[in-house]
Amino acid sequence: MEFHFLGTGAGVPSTKRNVSAIAIRFLQCNGSLWMVDCGEGTQQQILRSSIKLSKLEKIFITHLHGDHIFGLPGLLGSRSFQGGVTPLTIYGPKGIKAYIEQCLSLSNTTLLYPLSVVELEEGKIFEDKDVSVQCLLLEHVMPTYGFRIEEKAQSGELLVDKLKEKGITPGPLYKKIKAKEKVHLSSGEWIDGADFVGPDISGRIITILGDTKPCDAAVKLAINADVLIHEATFSIENQEMAHQYGHSTAYDAAKIARNAKVKTLILTHISARYEGKSDLLKTEACEVFPNTYIAYDSYIHTLLRSKSS
């Protein structure tokens, strides 16, 4: 799994940071692509990356501030112009459907693919055989959501050496054994496939929060996450102002990471006032939570699966 940080700035673009957009590539699923937020200029950022709009399946919008949605209409149109035909689903707060419909209608933009728009309510919003997504409301100056993406555990590795010791050579039986079925061998013996499969491979947990001041929902979404992506608009010296405007400091984000027992914290949504000195925010966070990274535009963070549960 790869996280591509297409835009890591807060409020308005700067010369170093575009506004909010994150792409998630699921490499084990043929490179399928999800996005979280789509600020102005996201298309240009994609052109500088390895991201392909044809792979885009889902877009999650945290809230309706312009620095998180103004790139959406253009991206939807471009996906169509570039030959995208597979379905796309957008999840966002109430109002996102009207925004998209008005933009496409007034610009006379026709999409060549099925588009679904789901307006969010707290709870589980998506689930398939591989992953589930839930959302909760956070605390900002307008309704904003955080998302928790949980992969389901995968069956462990086939213990090939153990099978060969029993005289079972590669073939159709391996698939049944991998599925932990009971298998009847040509010798007349029955074996339990579960005895020949290693421990399950744990699913990963990813938490991505929209703009928010510290709140209980942020901790709940982040519990035991492998990666927490959290805004850090301000430094601790501006904490009062941060909370007044519904934002967090790097110190706040680190406390959330520590309290939620996450493995890795990535800071984003950095105010332009810290241009050239964003290491200040990283240092501030690392004093509380050492395994902290600070994202920058075009930064890619790779997350591997654990070997076992």
Active-site residue list: 67
The 8-class DSSP code of residue 95 comes to: T
232 near 256, Cβ under 8 Å?
no
Distance, first Cα to last Cα, the chain: 18
What residues does 132 pair with on adjacent strands?
127, 150
How distant, in Å, are the alpha carbons of 34, 52, 53 from that of 78? 16, 11, 8
Residue type, 22: I
Q: Please report how many Cα atoms fall inside a 13 Å half-sphere around the Cα of residue 88, on the Cβ side.
A: 22
For helices 250-260 and 279-286, angle between their N-to-C axes, nearest 10 degrees: 40
Instruction: Spell out a b/e string for 69-79, using b for 16 or more CB atoms within 10 Å of the CB, else e.
Output: bbbbbbbbbbb
Beta bridge partners of 59: 35, 90
Three-class secondary structure of residue 56 per DSSP: strand
Closest CA to 113 of 147, 137, 156, 78: 78
- For CA atoms 110, 54, 89, 43, the dihedral sign is negative
Could you tell me how many residues make up the chain? 309
Do the Cβ atoms of 198 and 159 come closer than 8 Å?
Answer: yes
CB hemisphere CA count around 60 (13 angstroms): 26
